[in-house]
Amino acid sequence: MKSDYGDAVVLKTQDDAGNVAERRCAVVSITPVESEEQANHFKYPIETVLYTVEFGDGSDAFVPEAICDR
């Protein structure tokens, strides 16, 4: 799902047991993976869009767009 700077999103993560956790956050940075060098550095394929999201407690995470919902 395409989001923009400042958009509120829900980060969904799954643990080894298959339990899904959801956390509300805001998109603070958008990084498209556009080159082989970036793909190697970030460990995501070309055309992946990565977000830096910030949580209400001030912590942040660098995650693929695919695990964020509006």
Strand 68-69 and strand 60-64: the pairing is unpaired
8-69 under CATH 2.30.30, yes or no:
yes
To the question of pTM greater than 0.85 for the whole model, the response is yes
35: left (phi over 0), alpha (psi -120 to 50) or beta: beta
pLDDT, tens only, 8-64: 999 999 999 999 999 999 999 999 999 999 999 999 999 999 999 999 999 999 999
